[in-house]
Structure 1
Amino acid sequence: MTLSFKTLTGLALAALLVVVAATSHAATPRNLAAEEANRTLVLDFYERFFNKHDVAGAAQLVADNYKQHNPEVPDGKAPFVEFFAGFFKENPQSRARVVRSATDGDLVYLHVHSTNGAKDPGQAVVDIFRVANGKLVEHWDVIQNVPQQAANTNTMF
Structure 2
Amino acid sequence: MSYPKTGNEVFVSFSLSNTMFSGLGKGTITREEVSADYLKDLFQKYGVMVSAKPEQRKLLERVNTIYDLGLDIPETLKIIQLSEKNRRLVLIAVQGLRRVNGSLLPEYTEEEFQEATFSFVKYYVQSRHYDELVAENEKLKKDLNAEIAWRTRVSDI
TM-score bracket for this pair, using the shorter chain length: under 0.3
User: What is the TM-score of this pair, normalised by structure 1?
Assistant: 0.25
User: What is the TM-score of this pair, normalised by structure 2?
Assistant: 0.25
- Flag the structure with more relative contact order, 1 or 2, with Cα contacts below 8 A and sequence separation at least 6: 2
Bigger radius of gyration among the two: 2
Greater strand content: 1
